[in-house]
Chain A
């Protein structure tokens, strides 16, 4: 694991010591190389974890997430080049440093063995993200967005700290590998119910669960492109990853405590999908679509069957890539028209046909078109929730329909129709942007050939 962490940390001196015209090239290339190193982790010979040391391990659940994290850093750097081009050099370096710091914390979070170490790094990821949103965001609302983001997540996760410390007291160790085998049923008492709540709330806020999702549209919309990408692709998955890890310790309360959250998620995914149909701001639409997809993941994690775990993991990876790609597309629109409103930038297919092709692919994967991994994830979740209770099929079916509706609505509004007069002088697509989209799409399409690497530890 150090072979990934140390090079990532060393990216920081790399940015500070690079010459002005080489910063982007250096950082992007080296982060791509780091992601190639992390690909070797995907070779999981068994369902047991691969232990690198006492502190780091990787397992069929965390390996794909880790690879996604390291893959995303070069993409974030490529996406940020344009909007940072006018900033002074030191600020550019600061931005890249923030991203790198965030990357280091994320890598360590996904591979942490000790749960307290996981918690500390989980909280630590908030700091660079907050700095990126509030300092480099575009609108005045970003301060509000940063506040919501910080306090929602913090409030949710403070109880988790207390819960983890109390479990440490009880059992003597929070090493995840040991806890898997220790697994005693928690006795039925009020304090254990609160323990369950304390453990889960942090991740519910992070996912986000429908009632606690207010921070997400604000943070995603006000963040600069790299911030949006990392938020949508990885930070949300931290919640899913945490839930998958911590539910192993929380039996048997989960069987009855999960009901309210299941109901909220099932209802929430339809509500947020419907909100997407009414959105006028492109980034806001993609943000609500993230909430909707993550609600599916929450449902899957809470019903705790082998197929649902497979669906959750697949959906996390697939959504990470798709959402990040949609944000990059929205950003390419924003950089040209300086407005996030959808109706002010329509008819782009006539002007930028290649970008229209990427829009089409991204929208199709967003609506879970076969044979993409999005479909595999959603299908597994739908099937397992059907077996948990027959009625959920109605809600899931409605959600899939509405998802298709808003994805196509977004595609048609931005691409089809007559273009507006004021966009007939936009710059054509840069190679950098096309490369960015291709690098998002290629893993997504290739994974549909071999999805078992992302299906997690219950495959």
Chain B
């Protein structure tokens, strides 16, 4: 009332803003102000809600130079190489954020665990070669002083790829490329195959390529989830099962989230635009469910069994010393299982995997399935090869994902490549330029000629 009278009386003159509206936005509402002040004082006094010096040691730090989203094999590999390649100790602060510290859905933990060098793209071969070398000499890289040496259960047993008549020519080409890159591969005819592996039924096999690899395990770390911007300024890491979150200010974000990389990329705004443009190009990585079956077969192939991939797509490897085998088959496009959960379809084994296995290895006709599980591939729907390197629009997001089942095989080398990209500006040892994000927009597929 008083205010209105004043305003009418004095207009937009000196007191145009009204009495008492000088300091900020205060009005003549003294009662409200007094109760506000009372509430504030009460919260400051002991027992109140205001606690400016609370302990945040359980939260991630407020600032980190590089934030790696995803603590799987690729994320940790990038972290390791960033720290290893930094020129001075402590130059870069790296934060690895992982949603699930039990790694219950991580692809590598649930995978069959095979590593091969028989790829058709030279870059893939080089990546695998380095990774094998890394895993073989793991103690040179990852050993900790005074701790016992690491045992990765690395079993070099060989990788056997079988090709039918149709695939024989491709296999021969591939072997040539592989030999050029330095992989130890040998091409075998059906007779040689029978001599070496008497338990194989070589019907329909025109050529077999035998190279070197193996299987492995293990790792560790942190926790959270987040929200990002175009030039990602901060990563909001939300703590597990609580409302606390910590905004982590960062310079670079590395997307190594595996099967969920597509979602992370969407959070960063990648793919939000009209389709067909660079802004509208999504990261085409999505989770695909793959089953793994563990069976027991006492008459099965012995200790010399390599990791066998049949020309029909079924594959298996020896597990342990008790005649157990791990294996599966990649479903075709039509029979893709729903990736919503990790339920196992046992019928798939009966209908699709067992017949091929039994055909290739007659001893497998009498096998007994012990257990089965399912895991995700971070499947790159575009060309089933990894995405490495920065995004052209969201300038400080780097990718290290989408390896569609070869993550473990290429992780150490890819980690090194991404670390070089961040620290030096370009790939130094292995040139992964064909694997950049821009190929999705330009439409240049880098396809492998033999995929599982």
Contact B390 A341 (CB under 8 A): no
Cβ of A246 under 8 Å from chain B: no
A422–B426 CA distance with the chains assembled, in angstroms: 12
Contact B56 A140 (CB under 8 A): yes
Cβ of B129 under 8 Å from chain A: no
Contact A338 B23 (CB under 8 A): no
Enumerate chain A interface residues (CB-CB to B < 8 A).
16-17, 89-90, 138-140, 278-280, 337-339, 341-345, 347, 418-425
A418–B421 CA distance with the chains assembled, in angstroms: 12
- In order of increasing CB-CB distance, the 5 nearest A-B pairs are A339-B251, A280-B91, A422-B396, A425-B395, A421-B390
Cβ of B61 under 8 Å from chain A: yes
A-B contact pairs, 29 of them (CB 8 A): A17-B22, A89-B24, A138-B62, A138-B63, A138-B249, A139-B61, A139-B62, A139-B63, A278-B88, A280-B86, A280-B90, A280-B91, A280-B92, A338-B63, A338-B250, A338-B251, A341-B65, A341-B93, A343-B86, A343-B87, A343-B92, A344-B251, A418-B426, A421-B421, A422-B251, A422-B390, A422-B398, A423-B395, A425-B231
Contact A421 B425 (CB under 8 A): yes
Contact residues in B for A338 (Cβ distance below 8 Å): 63, 233, 249-251
Contact A339 B425 (CB under 8 A): no
Contact residues in A for B422 (Cβ distance below 8 Å): 344, 420
Contact residues in B for A279 (Cβ distance below 8 Å): 88
A213–B201 CA distance with the chains assembled, in angstroms: 77
A279–B252 CA distance with the chains assembled, in angstroms: 20
A420–B66 CA distance with the chains assembled, in angstroms: 14
Main secondary structure of the interface of B (DSSP, over half): loop
Chain B 223-267 near chain A by CB (<8 Å), digits 1 or 0: 000000001010000000000000001111000000000000000
4 additional A-B pairs beyond A89-B24, A338-B251, beta carbons within 8 Å, are A278-B88, A345-B251, A418-B426, A421-B395
Most chain-B CB neighbours within 10 Å: which of A278, A420, A422?
Answer: A422
B57 nearest in chain A by CB position = A140
Given known A-B contacts A138-B62, A341-B65, A343-B91, A422 and B252 have beta carbons under 8 A apart: yes
B234 nearest in chain A by CB position = A338
A424 nearest in chain B by CB position = B395
Instruction: Say how far A437's CB is from chain B's closest CB, in angstroms.
Output: 23
Contact residues in B for A343 (Cβ distance below 8 Å): 86-87, 91-92, 423
Contact residues in B for A16 (Cβ distance below 8 Å): 23
Main secondary structure of the interface of A (DSSP, over half): loop
Instruction: Say how far A19's CB is from chain B's closest CB, in angstroms.
Output: 9
Contact B395 A422 (CB under 8 A): yes
Contact residues in B for A140 (Cβ distance below 8 Å): 56, 61-62
Contact B91 A341 (CB under 8 A): yes
A142 nearest in chain B by CB position = B62
A423–B423 CA distance with the chains assembled, in angstroms: 13
Contact A337 B63 (CB under 8 A): no
Chain B 380-396 near chain A by CB (<8 Å), digits 1 or 0: 00000000001000011
A182–B236 CA distance with the chains assembled, in angstroms: 65
Instruction: Say how far A377's CB is from chain B's closest CB, in angstroms.
Output: 31
Contact B91 A420 (CB under 8 A): no
A342–B423 CA distance with the chains assembled, in angstroms: 11
Instruction: Say how far A424's CB is from chain B's closest CB, in angstroms.
Output: 6
Contact residues in B for A421 (Cβ distance below 8 Å): 390, 395, 421, 425
A285–B89 CA distance with the chains assembled, in angstroms: 15
Given known A-B contacts A280-B91, A422-B251, A422-B252, A344 and B65 have beta carbons under 8 A apart: yes
A428–B106 CA distance with the chains assembled, in angstroms: 42
Contact B23 A17 (CB under 8 A): yes
Given known A-B contacts A17-B22, A140-B56, A419-B425, A280 and B390 have beta carbons under 8 A apart: no
Instruction: Say how far A42's CB is from chain B's closest CB, in angstroms.
Output: 39
Instruction: Say how far A321's CB is from chain B's closest CB, in angstroms.
Output: 29
A30–B91 CA distance with the chains assembled, in angstroms: 42
Given known A-B contacts A280-B90, A424-B395, A344 and B252 have beta carbons under 8 A apart: yes
Given known A-B contacts A139-B61, A140-B62, A418-B425, A341 and B396 have beta carbons under 8 A apart: no
B252 nearest in chain A by CB position = A422
A20 nearest in chain B by CB position = B24
Contact residues in B for A90 (Cβ distance below 8 Å): 24
* Residues 86 to 133 of chain B near chain A (Cβ within 8 Å): 86-88, 90-93
A279–B425 CA distance with the chains assembled, in angstroms: 21
Contact residues in A for B250 (Cβ distance below 8 Å): 338-339
Given known A-B contacts A422-B395, A425-B395, A341 and B62 have beta carbons under 8 A apart: no
A341–B421 CA distance with the chains assembled, in angstroms: 16
Contact residues in B for A341 (Cβ distance below 8 Å): 65, 91-93, 251
Contact residues in B for A419 (Cβ distance below 8 Å): 425
A220–B86 CA distance with the chains assembled, in angstroms: 24
A391–B71 CA distance with the chains assembled, in angstroms: 57
B88 nearest in chain A by CB position = A280
Contact residues in A for B90 (Cβ distance below 8 Å): 280
A425–B397 CA distance with the chains assembled, in angstroms: 12
A278–B89 CA distance with the chains assembled, in angstroms: 9
* Residues 2 to 57 of chain B near chain A (Cβ within 8 Å): 22-24, 56
A341–B65 CA distance with the chains assembled, in angstroms: 8
Instruction: Say how far B150's CB is from chain A's closest CB, in angstroms.
Output: 29
Contact residues in A for B252 (Cβ distance below 8 Å): 344, 422
Instruction: Say how far A423's CB is from chain B's closest CB, in angstroms.
Output: 8
Contact residues in A for B22 (Cβ distance below 8 Å): 17
Contact residues in B for A344 (Cβ distance below 8 Å): 65, 92, 251-252, 422
Contact residues in A for B425 (Cβ distance below 8 Å): 347, 418-421
A344–B395 CA distance with the chains assembled, in angstroms: 13
Contact residues in A for B390 (Cβ distance below 8 Å): 421-422
Contact residues in A for B93 (Cβ distance below 8 Å): 341
Instruction: Say how far B89's CB is from chain A's closest CB, in angstroms.
Output: 8
Instruction: Say how far B249's CB is from chain A's closest CB, in angstroms.
Output: 5
Contact A339 B61 (CB under 8 A): no
A29–B179 CA distance with the chains assembled, in angstroms: 73
A344–B423 CA distance with the chains assembled, in angstroms: 7
Partner of A339, one of B23, B65, B86, B421: B65
Instruction: Say how far A242's CB is from chain B's closest CB, in angstroms.
Output: 33
Contact residues in B for A339 (Cβ distance below 8 Å): 63, 65, 250-251
A16–B22 CA distance with the chains assembled, in angstroms: 10
Chain B 394-421 near chain A by CB (<8 Å), digits 1 or 0: 0110100000000000000000000001
Chain B 49-90 near chain A by CB (<8 Å), digits 1 or 0: 000000010000111010000000000000000000011101
Contact residues in A for B63 (Cβ distance below 8 Å): 138-139, 338-339
Contact residues in B for A423 (Cβ distance below 8 Å): 395
Instruction: Say how far A449's CB is from chain B's closest CB, in angstroms.
Output: 40
A423–B87 CA distance with the chains assembled, in angstroms: 20
A347–B423 CA distance with the chains assembled, in angstroms: 12
A198–B306 CA distance with the chains assembled, in angstroms: 79
A344–B425 CA distance with the chains assembled, in angstroms: 10
